[in-house]
Structure 1
Amino acid sequence: MTDKNDKIPLYRQIYHSVRRAIENGNLKKNDRLPSIRELSSSLSLSKTTVISAYDQLCAEGYITNRPKSGYFVAADFENRPKIAESIEDNSKKENKYYEYDFSTKSIDSSVIDLAIWRKEIKNIINRSYLLTSYGDAQGEEALRYALQKYALGIRSVNSKMSNIIVGAGTQAVLYLLCSLIGTDKRVALQKSSFVQSEFVFRSFGYEICYFDSDDLGVTIDSLDALSPDIILVNPNFSGKRGLNMPVTRRLEMIRWAAKHGAYIIEDDFNGELRYSSHPIPCVQYYDSEHTVYIGSFSKVLLPSVRISYMVLPESLMKDFSECKPYINQIASKTEQLALAGYLNSGKMDSHIRRARRVYLEKSRQTLESIKRYFPNAALTFNETAMYVAVKLPKEVNRAEIDNALEENGIRLMTSIKSDSDFGFCFSGIPINKIDEGIRLVSEIIFKQPAC
Structure 2
Amino acid sequence: MTDSWATFGADLHLELRGPRLRSGLMDALREAVRAGRLAPGTRLPSSRSLAADLGIARNTVADAYAELVAEGWLTARQGSGTRVARRAAPRPGPGAGHRGGPGRGAAATPVPVRRPPVRRPAAHTLHPGMPDLGSFPRAEWLKAARRALMSAPHEALGYGGPRGRIELRTVLADYLARARGVYADPDRIVICSGFVHGLRLMAQVLRGRRVRDVAVESYGLDIHWNLLTEAGLRTPALPFDEHGTRTGELGRQGAVLITPAHQFPLGGALPPDRRAAAVDWARRTGALILEDDYDGEFRYDRQPVGALQGLDPERVVYLGTASKSLTPGLRLGWMVVPEDLVGDVLAAKGHSEWVSSALDQLTLAEFIRSGAYDRHVRGMRLRYRRRRDQLVAALAERAPDIRVSGIAAGLHAVLELPPGTEPTVVQAAAWQGLAIQGLDRFRHPDVPRGRDALVVGYATPTDSAWTGALDALCRGLP
Compute the TM-score of the two structures, normalised by the length of structure 2. 0.66
Do structure 1's residue 228 and structure 2's residue 246 form an aligned pair?
Answer: no
Q: How does 1:74-85 map to 2 (within 5 A)?
A: none
Using the TM superposition, name which of 371-380 and 171-180 deviates more: 371-380
Q: RMSD in angstroms over aligned alpha carbons?
A: 3.4
Q: How does 1:277-426 map to 2 (within 5 A)?
A: 277-323=302-348, 325-326=350-351, 328-393=353-418, 394-395=420-421, 396-397=423-424, 400-401=427-428, 403-406=430-433, 410-413=434-437, 416-417=440-441, 421-426=453-458
2:194–2:333 Cα contact (<8 Å) kept: yes
In structure 2, the CA distance between the partners of 1:235 and 1:136, relative to structure 1 (3 Å rule), is same
Q: Which runs of 5+ in 2 are unaligned?
A: 1-16, 36-118, 442-448
1:214–1:239 Cα contact (<8 Å) kept: no
Q: How does 1:18-417 map to 2 (within 5 A)?
A: 100-104=124-128, 106-108=130-132, 111-125=135-149, 129=154, 132-182=157-207, 185-224=212-251, 227-238=252-263, 242-323=267-348, 325-326=350-351, 328-393=353-418, 394-395=420-421, 396-397=423-424, 400-401=427-428, 403-406=430-433, 410-413=434-437, 416-417=440-441
> What is the DSSP-based 3-state SS (H/G/I as helix, E as strand, rest coil) of the residue aligned with 1:271?
coil
1:398–1:420 Cα contact (<8 Å) kept: no
In structure 2, the CA distance between the partners of 1:367 and 1:152, relative to structure 1 (3 Å rule), is same
In structure 2, the CA distance between the partners of 1:363 and 1:8, relative to structure 1 (3 Å rule), is same
Q: CA deviation at 1:328?
A: 3.9
| Percentage of pairs with the same residue | 21
In structure 2, the CA distance between the partners of 1:240 and 1:363, relative to structure 1 (3 Å rule), is closer
Between the aligned partners of 2:203 and 2:408, the Cα distance in structure 1 is 28
Between the aligned partners of 1:243 and 1:397, the Cα distance in structure 2 is 26
How far does the alpha carbon of each residue in 1:207-253 deviate from its partner, in whole angstroms, 9 at most, with x for none? Answer: 111111334433244214xx221111111224996322233321221
Code of the residue aligned with 1:316 in structure 2: it is L
Q: CA deviation at 1:388?
A: 1.6
> What is the DSSP-based 3-state SS (H/G/I as helix, E as strand, rest coil) of the residue aligned with 1:139?
coil
1:163–1:317 Cα contact (<8 Å) kept: yes
Give the paired residue count. 359
Q: CA deviation at 1:439?
A: 2.7
2:388–2:407 Cα contact (<8 Å) kept: no
Between the aligned partners of 1:310 and 1:197, the Cα distance in structure 2 is 16
> What is the DSSP-based 3-state SS (H/G/I as helix, E as strand, rest coil) of the residue aligned with 2:25?
coil
> What is the DSSP-based 3-state SS (H/G/I as helix, E as strand, rest coil) of the residue aligned with 2:277?
helix
In structure 2, the CA distance between the partners of 1:220 and 1:320, relative to structure 1 (3 Å rule), is closer
How far does the alpha carbon of each residue in 1:24-70 deviate from its partner, in whole angstroms, 9 at most, with x for none? Answer: xxxxxxxxxxxxxxxxxxxxxxxxxxxxxxxxxxxxxxxxxxxxxxx
Match of 2:48? none
Between the aligned partners of 1:305 and 1:359, the Cα distance in structure 2 is 21
Between the aligned partners of 2:298 and 2:456, the Cα distance in structure 1 is 18
Between the aligned partners of 1:124 and 1:415, the Cα distance in structure 2 is 43
In structure 2, the CA distance between the partners of 1:205 and 1:299, relative to structure 1 (3 Å rule), is same
